[in-house]
Amino acid sequence: MKKKEKPKVGDKLWSLNTGNMARHSKQILTPVNVVKVGRKYFVCRRDGSDSDWSNVQYLLSDWREKSEYTATSILFTSPQEWEDSKEEARICQFVYGSFTHGSNPGLSLGDLKIIEKILKVENPELAEG
């Protein structure tokens, strides 16, 4: 996960329902406002709401929802970031599926070495193996 900057009070972010909150309903990107920033957490509230019941806490370190159970939302800085995230997941799934069970989608050894080099540069922990 990419490191995100510390939000400021008043910032507009986008919340996507996930986990159990998206089990029986469509995922909807909802605007939220940052209403409080502390040392460990920040608090977001639905855009247009002035009630504390809609407050949700997120960790500053990685923007994960503070929860004892499964998170019910994910934050994005913009709708475009969500679209990019979906595209990244689609491409990763395609690449994974292309190489499962040792299959080669018709790439030459040179092409495979280029892919390996790219992956090792972006993920140094893979170079150890």
pLDDT of res. 69? 86
Residues 28 and 72 both lie in one domain: yes
Residue 27 lies in a domain: yes
Residues 24 and 62 both lie in one domain: yes
**Containing structural domain, residue 107:** 82-127
Q: What digits encode the pLDDT tens for the residues 21-62?
A: 788 888 899 999 999 999 999 999 998 888 888 899 999 998
Residue 4 lies in a domain: no
- pLDDT band at residue 2 using 50, 70 and 90 as cut-offs: low
Pick from 35, 56, 77: which residue ends a domain?
77
User: What are the tokens at 127?
Assistant: 């170079």
- pLDDT band at residue 87 using 50, 70 and 90 as cut-offs: very high
Residues 50 and 92 both lie in one domain: no
Residue 100 lies in a domain: yes
Distance CA 11, CA 8 (A): 6
- pLDDT band at residue 1 using 50, 70 and 90 as cut-offs: low
Non-local CB neighbours of 59 within 8 Å, separated by 6+ positions: 40, 41, 65, 66
Residues 121 and 97 both lie in one domain: yes
pLDDT of res. 50? 80
Residues 17 and 62 both lie in one domain: yes
Residues 70 and 87 both lie in one domain: no
Q: Is residue 129 pLDDT above 70, yes or no?
A: no
**What is the overall mean pLDDT for the chain?**
88
Give whole-number Cα distances, 102 to 24, 64, 89, 97, in Å: 36, 35, 21, 10
pLDDT of res. 6? 92
Amino acid at site 41 = Y
Q: Is residue 102 pLDDT above 70, yes or no?
A: yes
